[in-house]
Amino acid sequence: MLQHVIDTAHELGADTIHTVIGHGADQVRQTISDDIIHWVEQRERLGTGHAVMQVLDHLPDDARVLVLYGDVPLIRKQTLAILVDHVCGDSLGLLTVTMDDPTGYGRIVRDADGNVTRIVEQKDASVDQQAIREVNTGILGVSAAHLKRWLPQLSNDNAQGEYYLTDIIAMAAKDSVEVASNQPADVMEVQGVNNRVQLAELERWFQLQQSQELMLQGATLADPARIDVRGNLSVGCDVYIDVNAVFEGEVTLGNRVHVGPGCVIKDAHIGDGTEIKAYSVIESSTIGENAQIGPYARFRPGNRLAANTKVGNFVELKKSVIGEGSKISHLSYVGDATLGARVNVGAGTITCNYDGANKYQTIIGDGVFVGSNCSLVAPVTVAPEATIGAGSTITRDVAASELAVARGRQRNISGWEKPKKH
């Protein structure tokens, strides 16, 4: 959640991001890495006003300050930009929202002319004030000079014994500083997270926003409510994404890419016209145009596939380069390998790339045919147009156009008794 807020602050062009931390401070520091973050620890948790006080000594007097919250992750840049524009010597920006049920929120109190005069917290509000439906989001933009004048005047003489940041609104009104309020386009922008139920609600709304953006870009989603984008997804024209697909990190889908149900794609580039069939997992790989992947294929990191390749069901790839038109159709493991163009790898074939201590390369040239159930013990090179007979274990290099057969002679034993179940 905090990373979302920090990313939005970056989009606004923040010079410095002062992040006030308390409970779990060390874990937060270890998790978030950003050069312009200035960490400030609030050793006593005495309210929002007290939290902002911890930053005062680090603010230049001429700074424009935007107060954001780490548990309000989905606030939009466009909404905040309006608040920042209101920050000047005689004005501050306040973000409010109108709710059907304002219970628990500070109420926005206005005078007869509609000017904001103060904010009253729920526990301190009168019966009439509790009926007010316009409430405070806590998000505001204000000059550092005003903060330095007002925050030292805060008192904790209230029902919660805390220093309310909201009390500066009454101070602004007293000093004839205009409180310019505006509201977000959607109330979900300013929803905070206090428990896992609220977290799940925000996640679903966030995913729906991303689904709508993808469809506006030209993607067809089988069900906009059943897709998860956990990073940045870029799509070309006429992309189709079936249900329950998950995208993580940086993913690019070219034109006419088809993603089947249940696929997980992370940090990958998928070329035009490629089809990723059901329940395939692709991580840190690049796939060329018009490829056929899956179903149930697994790409571990580091693969590069050329155009018109095929990696079929129950095939696992790792750190491999697959040349144009090559096929690994089913039930194979290919790791630390380089395959040329037009290679056919039969079912059940594995590259034995690990000797228990080190990894080795398998090189397969253009036009090689590898029969079913073969083991290629690396390091080994199979030259172009060679053929590997089914069931072979290849431990030596194979020259161009040779047929390699490496398997024991078959014996049929008469009178063999099958094992009996105890």
Percent of the chain clearing pLDDT 70 (strictly above): 100
Q: What residues contact residue 298 under an 8 Å CB cut-off, 6+ apart? A: 280, 281, 315, 316, 317
Helices (H), 131-195: 144-150, 168-174
Cα-based distances in Å from 402 to 202, 387, 399 = 62, 6, 6
Contact 311, 295 (CB under 8 A): no
Question: In terms of Cα–Cα distance, which of 385, 392, 300 is closest to 348?
Answer: 392
Q: What is the pLDDT of residues 195-239, one digit of tens each?
A: 999 999 999 999 999 999 999 999 999 999 999 999 999 999 999
Q: Categorize the per-residue pLDDT at 33 as very low, low, confident or very high, splitting at 50, 70 and 90.
A: confident
Burial (CB < 10 A; 0-12, 13-18, 19+), residue 84, is middle
Residue that has been written with the tokens 């145009």 in this structure: 289
> How many whole angstroms separate alpha carbon 414 and alpha carbon 391?
23
Give the residue ranges of the annotated binding site.
Answer: 42, 47-48, 69-71, 106, 121, 136, 194, 300, 318, 333, 344, 347, 353-354, 372, 390, 407
188-194 average pLDDT score: 93
Q: C-alpha angle with apex 27: 203 to 4, nearest 5 degrees?
A: 30
> How many whole angstroms separate alpha carbon 157 and alpha carbon 264?
53
Q: Categorize the per-residue pLDDT at 347 as very low, low, confident or very high, splitting at 50, 70 and 90.
A: very high
Give the residue ranges of the annotated binding site for Mg(2+).
Answer: 71, 194
> Residue 279 is which amino acid?
Y
Contact 216, 222 (CB under 8 A): no
Q: Based on DSSP, count helices (H) and strands (E) in the chain, helices before strands.
A: 8, 35
Q: Which two tokens stand for residue 255?
A: 């034109």
> How many whole angstroms separate alpha carbon 343 and alpha carbon 328?
8
User: Is 23 a residue of the active site?
Assistant: no
Q: Could you tell me what percentage of the chain is helix, strand and coil, using 3-state DSSP and rounding each to the nearest 5?
A: 20, 35, 45
Contact 141, 83 (CB under 8 A): yes
Domain coordinates of the chain in residue numbers? 2-190, 196-404
Contact 20, 54 (CB under 8 A): yes
318-327 average pLDDT score: 98
Q: What is the pLDDT of residues 249-304, one digit of tens each?
A: 999 999 999 999 999 999 999 999 999 999 999 999 999 999 999 999 999 999 99
- Give 4-60 as a DSSP string: HHHHHHHHTT-S-EEEEEBTBHHHHHHH---TTEEEEE-SS---HHHHHHTTGGGS-
CATH number of 2-190: 3.90.550.10
> How many whole angstroms separate alpha carbon 417 and alpha carbon 10?
74
Q: Categorize the per-residue pLDDT at 313 as very low, low, confident or very high, splitting at 50, 70 and 90.
A: very high
Judged against a pLDDT cut of 90, whether residue 81 lies above it is answered with yes
The pairing of strands 227-235 and 337-339 is unpaired
Q: Which residues of 129-147 are buried (b: 16+ CB within 10 A; e: fewer)?
A: beebebbbbbbbbbbbebb
Which of 38, 258, 330, 422 is labelled catalytic?
330
Residue 316 Cα to chain centre, angstroms: 24
Domain range 196-404, its CATH number among 3.90.45.10, 2.160.10.10, 3.40.50.80, 2.60.120.10: 2.160.10.10
Residue that has been written with the tokens 């005495």 in this structure: 46
67-84 average pLDDT score: 94
The pairing of strands 403-404 and 258-259 is unpaired
146-159 average pLDDT score: 90
> How many whole angstroms separate alpha carbon 389 and alpha carbon 358?
27
Residue that has been written with the tokens 């008469």 in this structure: 414
Q: What is the pLDDT of residues 371-394, one digit of tens each?
A: 999 999 999 999 999 999 999 999
Question: In terms of Cα–Cα distance, which of 413, 415, 389, 391 is closest to 402?
Answer: 389
